[in-house]
Amino acid sequence: MTRRALLVGVGAAGGAGAMFAAMGALGLAPDSQPKEFVPPRPGDFSLTGRGAAKVVVLGAGVAGLTCAYELGKAGYDCTVLEAADRVGGRVLTLRGGDRLTELGGETQTAAFGQGVYFNAGAGRIAPWMVTMDYCRELGVPVEIFVNGNASAYVYTRGMTAPVRARTARADMYGYVAELLAKAAGAGALDRRLTEDDRERLTEFLRRFGDLGPDLSYRDSPRRGFATYPGVGDGVPYGAPSSLGDVLAAGTGRAITMDFGYDQAMPMFQPVGGMDAIVTALARAVGRDRIRTGTRVTGLTDLPDGVEVAYEGGVFRADYCVAALPPHLLARLRHNLGARVTAALRTPVPVAAGKIGLEYGRRWWEIDDRIYGGITETDLDITHIWYPSHDYHSAAGLVVGYYNTEENAELYGRLSHRDRRARALTQGKKIHGEKYRAELRSSLSIAWQRQPHLEGGWVRWPSYDGGFALLGRPAGRVYFAGDWLTHLVAWQAGAMESARKAVTEIHRRVVKTPS
Ligand code: PHE
């Protein structure tokens, strides 16, 4: 039997862990993490004579829940300790009656009507993300999240009135195409372009900018209509503003924000609220294995296990996965060393905030013909999100701001009343008086003021050093979280990091001589 045939047989019979154990014995174990994730299976232990270990997971956010879920599949004895009285971390869907308390004291109670919800944290999923695989596996139904909508508005302080995204895009593309086509035609690009290149480029630019026969951008139905065509031929918006005015409006960020690989349509959301994913994970883990209201205060790595101190007791296990935000882990009493503490202090917490504005009439659909999507602004509210679900129902919730960094810090320092007043003043510039007059209820969140989280996400000043150190275990303590990936601020980051920790723990457990 060749070594390869042996490994294939072992892998098929015993799963990835057994295969790694056998490979290790043959001196073949790869140093790098395999791309394909194979969850640990009970059968992996049969070859090694080992039993599944006892693992304590700190934090019931997406990373912690995914760890417990995947380890649980193989029969690991997992316990999740969670400081808050709920699971989910920065996945938070608020419905009527839910309460939200911020550090500094204020408690809000959601007054939303039946069927109205507010995804106060995670809000969208790209189709390539592993989050979608968990939705499939856990039976969480998903629907389209409208991330880009040509009918939503763009509003910048360089404008007298908001314009539709399609209009802003038509104008920038039109003028850019005109300039480039004319520059090429005048020979300005001859050092870069052959004659064939120039013809092909010009042909593309005609389409890209909807240019006229003389390669000018003057007007285009792409700009949209005050009255759309029907029996009549419609009333177009008409000619664009001058090139200078279009450039001065500064729509660049607004019209390119869905160009990114993480923001391109289609995007997705679970039906009924983002928390469907963490709810399904928690159910699969087993509610009895998740201890909410249990705040961890200390962590000790021992030669033969780990000891976790929490308010009211001590918990012993063979291994620990620390899936809390790094800035909170840094404050724990621990014996993992000064380098670990320094590494945990390297990522900088980023403030992020949202406000949910509930209306009793879906005026954005009825009056503005906006079905989902996002209005982009350069105001301190940054974005306005329209709901991508329950179209045409009676009520609905608009996200009146979703901002980060300084803007989020500014709103975070205000009381809820003042946040709401400020958000309404800004939003009125786009939607007019109804934005204030028709408001039914509201609720705001400043993630940097959320207990046990203290941030929207983190920013690594550099991925050198600390990132790699925390990607490895400190003794029997493994770290997990979106902050340990290049997918910061995505559930997919938390899930991928969890899979890495699970794979490494499992490899270690099946390889350890009994
Ligand atoms: N995932 C968050 C969002 O979609 C935060 C984020 C934004 C992360 C943009 C990366 C890029 O809003």
CA distance to 90, 91, 434, 499, per residue, from 262 (Å): 18, 18, 33, 20
Ordered per-residue pLDDT tens for the chain, 514 residues: 454 554 445 545 555 555 555 554 444 555 555 568 999 999 999 888 889 999 999 999 999 999 999 999 999 999 999 999 999 999 999 999 999 999 998 999 999 999 999 999 999 999 999 999 999 999 999 999 999 999 999 999 989 999 999 999 999 999 999 999 999 999 999 999 999 999 999 999 999 999 999 999 999 999 999 999 999 999 999 999 999 999 999 999 999 999 999 999 999 999 999 999 999 999 999 999 999 999 999 999 999 999 999 999 999 999 999 999 999 999 999 999 999 999 999 999 999 999 999 999 999 999 999 999 999 999 999 999 999 999 999 999 999 999 999 999 999 999 999 999 999 999 999 999 999 999 999 999 999 999 999 999 999 999 998 999 999 999 999 999 999 999 999 999 999 999 999 999 999 999 987 6
Q: Measured in angstroms, how far is the CA atom of residue 123 from the centroid of ligand 1? A: 9
Query: Residue 12's pLDDT is what?
Result: 52
Query: Residue 48's pLDDT is what?
Result: 84
Q: Measured in angstroms, how far is the CA atom of residue 490 from the centroid of ligand 1? A: 7
Q: Measured in angstroms, how far is the CA atom of residue 345 from the centroid of ligand 1? A: 22
State the pTM of this model. Answer: 0.93
Run of H or E including 444: strand 439-446
By C-alpha distance, which of 306, 163, 308, 128 is closest to 240?
163
Q: Measured in angstroms, how far is the CA atom of residue 375 from the centroid of ligand 1? A: 16
Protein residue with its CA nearest to atom 10 in ligand 1: 489
Q: Measured in angstroms, how far is the CA atom of residue 489 from the centroid of ligand 1? A: 6
Protein residue with its CA nearest to atom 6 in ligand 1: 489
Cβ burial of 340 (10 Å; 0-12, 13-18, 19+) is buried
490 lines ligand 1 (CB under 6 A): yes
Protein residue with its CA nearest to atom 5 in ligand 1: 489
CB atoms within 10 A of CB 422: 19
Beta strands, E only, 126-276: 142-145, 153-155, 163-164, 225-227, 235-236, 267-270
By C-alpha distance, which of 177, 62, 17 is closest to 484?
62
Query: Residue 17's pLDDT is what?
Result: 53
Tell me the best of 263, 274, 399 to mutate to test the pocket of ligand 1, counting ligand atoms within 8 Å of each CB and taking the most. Answer: 263
Return the amino acid letter for 248.
A
489 lines ligand 1 (CB under 6 A): yes
Q: Measured in angstroms, how far is the CA atom of residue 472 from the centroid of ligand 1? A: 26
Query: Residue 27's pLDDT is what?
Result: 47
CB atoms within 10 A of CB 313: 9
Residue whose structure tokens are 């049969």: 46
262 lines ligand 1 (CB under 6 A): yes
**Contact indicator for 50, 14 with CB cutoff of 8 Å:** no
Query: Residue 19's pLDDT is what?
Result: 54
383 lines ligand 1 (CB under 6 A): no
Q: Measured in angstroms, how far is the CA atom of residue 74 from the centroid of ligand 1? A: 33
Which of ligand 1's atoms lies nearest the C-alpha of 456?
A: 5
Query: Structure tokens of 78?
Result: 């997992």
**Contact indicator for 287, 170 with CB cutoff of 8 Å:** no
Q: Measured in angstroms, how far is the CA atom of residue 329 from the centroid of ligand 1? A: 23
Which of ligand 1's atoms lies nearest the C-alpha of 404?
A: 5
Protein residue with its CA nearest to atom 4 in ligand 1: 124
Q: Measured in angstroms, how far is the CA atom of residue 373 from the centroid of ligand 1? A: 15
124 lines ligand 1 (CB under 6 A): yes
